[in-house]
Amino acid sequence: MSKVLHATRALLPDGWHTDVRVTLAGGRIAAIAGDAPPLPDDERHAILLPGLGNLHSHAFQRGMAGLAERRGDSNDSFWTWREVMYRFLERMGPDDLAAIAALAYAEMLETGFTRVGEFHYLHHDPAGQAYADPAAMCAAIAQAAAETGIALTLLPVFYAHGGFGGQAPNAGQRRFITGLDSFARLRGDAAHALTALPDAVLGLAPHSLRAATPDQISALDAMAGAAPIHIHIAEQTREVDDCLAWSNLRPVEWLLRHAPVDRRWCLVHATHMTSDETRALAASGATAGLCPITEANLGDGLFPARDYTGAWGVGSDSNVLIDASEELRLYEYGQRLVHRGRNLLAPAPGTSTGAALYGGALRGGAAALGAPAGLAVGNSADLVSLDADHPCLIGRRDDALIDGWLFAGGRAVIDCVWRHGAKVVSQGRHHARDAIVRRYRAVLTGLLE
Ligand SMILES: [Zn+2]
């Protein structure tokens, strides 16, 4: 059965077009016609764009959003935040994870993210033992994706050590730890958990250079084959110092020198780089995975976006606030604040910053998540419509609509979102929001009491 969406203006891979009919069939885009007036059965919209990929999420952390904003005794940092996070997940089981992830994924869809890269390391039960089904937590993530409709690139995380050079993990990390053999089995079971999801992708992720040794990273690269490989890197200056002490090299420098980093790879954060590292990362073909809201929240530092010429995308990481427009806006604003200039990420005079941000994140998200994006025949039908009557879009056209969305209106300008051909958001609300929030409230109340 097919359905046709008609848009007054739509953003196709070669730019904006008028009177666009998009035919959806079997979850995919079956046909696109421009300069095609609407037919009586078409569902009509003003402005259509492709959905964005969210390349880095830890869904369970949505449940602790805002709980680490109280000043502690010592200097608060990423590392004190991490202790709050470890305590929060002490009792979380598969059903709790499914409920929290469902809320996070519904919110992602409401803000225009149609695929999520779930960087998933919470594998075992609270005592650190494997569940009866070792992939029970992967299955909980898949269940949340199925319930909300979001496309899933699952990145099971390999986590073996507590610090550089193969240090033993600490007690707070016991739920994450695997060896290479048990990880390979877990990933096989995770593949099984994804079979019912349309267009799911299975990648993998060495957690960081702290958590995996060089030999383990080589083995994981081979295990991945052509699938996406993600890694946290150079997020914190202490991590840079520890890496230097261990290897005499900085984290990004070490990885580019010792691992076959290419288009399959996504380097998440890559905050602290020299200009040589910044150039080498761009040349590698890998995607830089930026998480501007989380990086600001954790006090990580600023990625050298103005000087970086390679592929990049955005992720919501800790999910402390989920909003695609805010991630992109903050990515630009960080550069404005540090360089004291404006429109620093637009490629040329006269071009739109919003369009550059949106286009960059669309391409980088697709590359990092292993799934094509964009309104093109054959792609999954993942679309976003904007509310042309929103005050921030009045009198705007084409790229200026994206500027109005990202810089002025934010998520409130989103009207509908389709995922794999099904409309899952109308008037900015996910269709299952009420049920998802009800279950989330019950689960969170239990976890926090
Ligand atoms: Zn992360």
Rounded Cα gap, residues 400 and 351, in angstroms = 10
Is the Cα torsion angle 433, 436, 439, 441 positive or negative in sign? negative
Domain count, the chain: 2
Residues 293 and 280 in one domain: yes
- Report how far ligand 1's centroid is from the alpha carbon of 57 (Å): 7
Residue 444 lies in a domain: no
**Host H or E run for residue 245:** helix 237-247
**Strand boundaries in 234-333, DSSP class E:** 265-269, 287-290, 311-314
Read off the pLDDT band of 412 (50, 70, 90): very high
Long-range contacts of 272-275 (CB under 8 A, 24+ apart): 272/234, 272/235, 272/236, 272/237, 272/239, 272/240, 272/301, 273/234, 273/303, 273/304, 274/250, 275/304, 275/307
pLDDT digits 0-9 by tens, 16-32: 999 999 999 999 999 99
Range 201-229 average pLDDT: 98
- Does 93 map to a domain? yes
Selected catalytic residue, list 17, 161, 207, 269? 269
In this structure, are 105 and 42 located in the same domain?
no
In this structure, the answer to whether residues 39 and 76 fall within a common structural domain is no
Q: What radius of gyration, in Å, describes the C-alpha atoms of the chain? A: 21
Range name among 70-74, 230-234, 261-265 with the lowest pLDDT average: 70-74
Identify the DSSP state of 169: P
Task: Kindly state the average pLDDT of the residues 72-76.
Answer: 71
Please tell me the predicted confidence (pLDDT) of residue 258: 97
Name beta bridge partners: 230. Answer: 266
Phi, then psi, of 27 in degrees rounded to 5: 85, -5
The domain of 404 spans: 2-50+374-434
Over range 251-256, report the average pLDDT: 98
Domain closes at, from 341, 369, 397: 369
Q: Which of 317, 323, 382, 415 is labelled catalytic?
A: 317
219 alpha carbon to ligand 1 midpoint, in Å? 22
Distance, CA of 117 to chain centre: 5
Residue 194 CA to residue 142 CA, distance in Å, equals 6
- Tell me, yes or no, whether 40 and 158 share the same domain: no
Asked if residue 446 belongs to a domain, the reply is: no
Q: How far is the CA of 230 from the centre of ligand 1 (A)?
A: 10
| Ion ligand 1 residues within 5 Å by Cβ | 317
Instruction: Give the model's confidence band at 67: pLDDT under 50 very low, under 70 low, under 90 confident, else very high.
Output: confident
Q: Tell me, yes or no, whether 90 and 130 share the same domain.
A: yes
Overall pTM > 0.85: yes
pLDDT number for residue 180: 98
- Expressed in angstroms and rounded, the spacing between residue 247 Cα and the centre of ligand 1 is 23
Residues 83 and 156 grouped into a single domain: yes
**Are 34 and 168 found together in one domain?**
no
Residue 81 is predicted with a pLDDT of 75
Rounded distance, CA 386 to CA 428, Å? 9
Question: Which percentage of the chain shows pLDDT scores above 90?
Answer: 92
297 CA to centre of ligand 1 in angstroms? 13
| Nearest Cα to Cα of residue 315 among 122, 60, 59, 42 | 59
- Domain co-membership, 140 together with 85: yes
How close is the Cα of 398 to the center of ligand 1, in Å? Answer: 34
Cα 295 to averaged position of ligand 1 atoms, centre (Å): 10
**Residues 360, 303 within the same domain:** yes
Q: Which residues, other chains included, contact 349 with Cβ-Cβ below 8 Å and sequence gap of 6+?
A: none
pLDDT average, residue stretch 265-272: 98
168: confidence class by pLDDT, cuts 50, 70, 90: very high
Q: Is the pLDDT of residue 308 over 80?
A: yes
Q: How far is the CA of 74 from the centre of ligand 1 (A)?
A: 23
**β-strands 113-120, 151-158: how paired?**
parallel
The answer to whether residue 123 is domain-embedded is: yes
Q: Kindly give the distance from the C-alpha atom of residue 275 to the centroid of ligand 1, in angstroms, as a whole number.
A: 23
Q: Does residue 447 sit within a domain?
A: no
Q: Give the DSSP letter of residue 395.
A: T
Spatial distance between the Cα atoms of 449 and 441, rounded to a whole number of angstroms: 12
Q: Is the pLDDT of residue 90 over 90?
A: no
- What would the pLDDT profile of 348-384 be if each residue is shown by its tens digit? 999 999 999 999 999 999 999 999 999 999 999 999 9
Same domain membership, residue 8 and residue 112 = no
Same domain, 339 and 226: yes
Q: What's 66's domain CATH number?
A: 3.20.20.140
Distance 61 CA to ligand 1 centre (A): 10
**Within-domain flag for 445:** no
pLDDT tens digit string along 172-211? 889 999 999 999 999 999 999 999 999 999 999 999 999 9
Q: Is the pLDDT confidence value at 72 over 80?
A: no
In this structure, are 28 and 70 located in the same domain?
Answer: no
Write the pLDDT tens digit of every residue in 106-143.
Answer: 999 999 999 999 999 999 999 999 999 999 999 999 99
Copy the structure tokens of residue 319: 């999910």
Active site (annotated) includes residue 317: yes
Which residue is it, tokens 């099971």? Answer: 156
Distance 317 CA to ligand 1 centre (A): 5
Is 449 a domain residue?
A: no
According to the model, what pLDDT value does residue 83 have?
Answer: 79
Q: CB of 93 within 8 A of CB of 155? A: no
Residue 440 lies inside a defined structural domain of this protein: no
Query: Which has the minimum average pLDDT: 236-240, 267-271, 399-403?
Result: 236-240
For residue 410, give the CATH number of its domain.
2.30.40.10
Collect all residues with Cβ–Cβ distance below 8 Å to 165 and sequence separation of at least 6. Answer: 213, 246
